[in-house]
Chains A and B, each alone.
Chain A
């Protein structure tokens, strides 16, 4: 880039803006219009109404939620998990292990707990 490129660009931009200064609107007019605009906009009433509405809506929503009560207890999805290799534990003898076997189910109670007098030989 040559050093006089800056001058070229300066001249070009001055050319582009040549008419702007002449066309610029009057400051007093623009400032007065802005002042009017700021005075109309500065009113806090619409903001207050909006805020009051929002607060009321939020309060109503909270009250409604509190009236509904707690949701029914549910097991959340994903809490019961079965491993993909669980089937490997399903062995043929697993049924025996899951239940406690009754060792002598058919013997009468007298056999399991013998009378102490009979052991001593008393009539």
Chain B
């Protein structure tokens, strides 16, 4: 693939990549933008190279996920470990509280809150399959796990998310 073609394909995938970066960063917009920027830098520098073993979308999403994981690890070290050690302050809670979510009166926020209660891998596999339209096999490639592992996360995540969303559905029906 020529560099120009690659750029064009990445441009087409840009909105989806940003949505995926948001999922990887627990809907933190600033962090998602940083992650996407770093992923693009990695592509341009040739540190992430598309070898054609999977679809471009799968490859780009796996680059974004890798960068997001590294960023999350660095942030954890900076905010939690170092801050706690230096100042003795409690870590920042990235997940919004239920009251805050209820106050927003937005269904999307409620779903996001439910998603953030899932394990990271469960959230990722559900997002990749149900929003980005990937197969479980492709999701496993993006996440860098075995197909069986991805299936387990998919089943458990589905069950858990449905249980978390169920009271709301009942409330809407009633």
Contacts and interface: CB of A to CB of B under 8 A. Distances in A.
Interface string A41-77: 1100000000000000000000000000000000000
A21 to B, nearest CB: 5
Nearest to A27: B14
Given A5-B162, A25-B18, A30-B36, A13 B11 contact: no
B130 A13 contact: yes
Interface of A: 1, 5-6, 8-10, 12-21, 23-25, 27, 30-31, 33-35, 37-38, 41-42
Given A9-B158, A25-B36, A42-B45, 9 more contacts: A1-B162, A5-B162, A15-B108, A17-B22, A20-B15, A24-B18, A34-B41, A34-B43, A34-B44
B159 interface: yes
Contacts of B111: 12-13, 15-16
Contact of A15 (B10, B22, B107): B107
Contacts of B72: none
Contact of B159 (A1, A33, A34): A1
Contacts of B29: 23
Given A15-B108, A30-B37, A24 B15 contact: yes
9 contacts: A1-B159, A9-B162, A12-B114, A12-B165, A15-B107, A17-B108, A27-B14, A31-B7, A37-B37
A19 to B, nearest CB: 7
B19 A1 contact: no
A16 B40 contact: no
B130 A6 contact: yes
A20 B18 contact: yes
B40 A34 contact: yes
A8 B7 CA distance: 35
Interface in B111-133: 111-112, 114-115, 126-127, 130-131
B33 interface: yes
Contacts of A5: 158, 162
A10 B159 contact: no
